[in-house]
Amino acid sequence: MKLHKIKECLDVQISDIAGSVYDDVNMSGSTFGNVNIAGCSFRNINMAGAMFDDANMSGWKVNDVNLSGLKIAKANLQGACISDSRLDGMKINGILVTDLLAAYEQANPKQKPLANPNP
């Protein structure tokens, strides 16, 4: 089924639309619940103001993104890696990450910075 230049809401329920392609589509204000998007690719996407609740994002790879103002709470970040990123203003439990890194480097002056095991 092809939809082109349609301006109405779709109500899709209990459907298998695997392999679908969405290009130049306005989905602002849409709600997604109990949706499997495992293995999907997203490029040039505006997700400003989006909210994720009870989401499995394990194995995500994020590159060249603007995450300014991002709020993460009650998250499992086990094994997460952040590299080659601007960290000014970023806080973990209210502590500036730049201060944490400076304290680490001061306490371990001869050690090289931690390498990213998954570039």
With contact defined as beta carbons under 8 Å apart, do 116 and 81 qualify? yes
Task: Give the rounded percent of residues in the chain with a pLDDT score beyond 70.
Answer: 92
| pLDDT at residue 117, as a whole number | 54
Confidence grade of residue 112 (pLDDT, cut at 50, 70, 90): low
What's phi and psi for 95, nearest 5 deg?
-105, 130
Write the pLDDT tens digit of every residue in 43-72. Answer: 999 999 999 999 999 988 899 999 999 999
